Amino acid sequence: MDLSLKDPEGFSKWMNSAVKKELSDIIRYFFEEATAEEWSVMSSYANELREKYYGKKVYFRGLIEFSSFCRNDCFYCGLCRSNRSAKRYRLTPEEIFDCCRTGYDLGFRTFVLQSGEDKYFTDARLCHTISGIKEFFPDCAVTLSMGERSFASYKYLFDAGADRYLLRHETADEAHYVKLHPSELSLKNRKQCLYHLKEIGYQVGAGFMVDSPFQTFDTLAEDFLFLRELKPQMIGIGPFIPQKDTRFRGYCTPSSSRTLALLSLIRIMLPKTLLPATTALGTIDPLGREKGLKAGANVVMPNLSPVKYRRDYALYDNKICTDEEAAECLSCLARRITSVGYIPDFSRGDYIDFLGKDSSCG
């Protein structure tokens, strides 16, 4: 593989026209064969492209995990409804506002409200919370991450003030999707939700786990094709980490290198994407988030949830940052970001082509 013949833009163009077999081959190549020099060429391309649009900024998002109830039974997730050992909690609107207040005073201007698919949170209840946040903190963006809902519900929440929505597609390969989810969930519906969110005007985040059970180079190539088609503003990818109460317990422990390779390849394919260095990446590798930034990531999402609930939001085992107060995580992360030459940024950090909520975004 002669990467030196291509420049970053050339490689990006190639990634955008490659067919599935070529994408599968390039992913396999970086997982299995690439030399240290080729890795360094690839990450320098990824960095050059990121810097072209976002400079050295790393955007902070304050994560509020507001409910650990979930009606779904995804095979990989510790919050799945059949997990009887999972502790369930819900934050009250006042507790959520308090998290935002703490975050706001620390400088955060984006709040990510994340939960399992919890029926208790009807449109009306969510609307109360979202519009409350917007009223108290009008200069902040609100990102939702609460799974599949109807078009009407997504629209209602958007009109209540939500700006962005994260919904990982998990895998874009039909057969693989079935191996990770119970039969009542479908890839078709998941994709439909993502298109609905885009149509309504949200800045949308898709994504998947790296090293999830039954993932192959071909399923990853399918993920790339789907991301290329959807063109989400954000892409969340992080390693799959087994959770002890799920059917995938004991499934091999991942290494960070494959996530890092995919972060770089995604940055090269979709250079304007907002790409988080995830907590999962920091969980499997003590320097995972720093390495993620160097590979092309430009977002971090420290936890603003009350410390007393943190351990109960156990998507996977050994999650980091469950004991640290928001301020501690913030200074720890800021230090980590500057240590690798990037600049912590507390602005809303919208997608580069986003023109404002009332206009269409590119």
User: Per-residue contact track with ligand 5AD, 259 to 288, x per CB under 6 A?
Assistant: ---------------------x--------
Interaction of residue 277 with ligand FES, rule CB under 6 A: no
User: Per-residue contact track with ligand 5AD, 76 to 115, x per CB under 6 A?
Assistant: xx--------------------------------------
Residue from 315, 321, 326, 337 touching ligand 5AD (CB under 6 A): that is 315
Interaction of residue 307 with ligand FES, rule CB under 6 A: no
Interaction of residue 168 with ligand 5AD, rule CB under 6 A: yes
Contact 197, 165 (CB under 8 A): yes
Residues 312, 317: Cα–Cα separation, whole Å? 11
User: Which CB sits closer to ligand FES, 332 or 361?
Assistant: 332
Residues 157, 152: Cα–Cα separation, whole Å? 9
Instruction: Provide, rounded to whole angstroms, the least separation between the CB of residue 278 and ligand 5AD.
Output: 8
Interaction of residue 321 with ligand FES, rule CB under 6 A: yes
H or E segment and range at residue 296: none
Structure tokens at 94: 């006042």
Interaction of residue 332 with ligand FES, rule CB under 6 A: yes
Contact 257, 292 (CB under 8 A): no
Helical H segments across 7-68, by residue range: 8-17, 20-32, 36-54
Of 92-100, 190-198, 236-244, 331-339, which part binds ligand 5AD (CB under 6 A)? 236-244
Side chain identity, residue 254: P
CA of 230: how far to CAs of 7, 83, 202, 212, 296, in Å?
A: 25, 33, 13, 22, 20
What long-range pairs does 102-106 form, CB within 8 A, spacing at least 24?
Answer: 102/304, 102/326, 103/62, 103/64, 103/304, 103/326, 104/137, 104/140, 106/62, 106/326, 106/327, 106/330
Interaction of residue 160 with ligand 5AD, rule CB under 6 A: no
Choose among ligand FES, ligand 5AD, none what residue 58 binds, the Cβ cut-off being 5 to 8 Å by kind: none
User: Which CB sits closer to ligand 5AD, 202 or 240?
Assistant: 240
Instruction: Provide, rounded to whole angstroms, the least separation between the CB of residue 279 and ligand FES.
Output: 8
Residues 318, 341: Cα–Cα separation, whole Å? 28
Instruction: Provide, rounded to whole angstroms, the least separation between the CB of residue 36 and ligand 5AD.
Output: 27
User: Which CB sits closer to ligand 5AD, 217 or 240?
Assistant: 240
Interface with ligand FES (CB under 6 A): 302, 321, 324, 328-329, 332-333
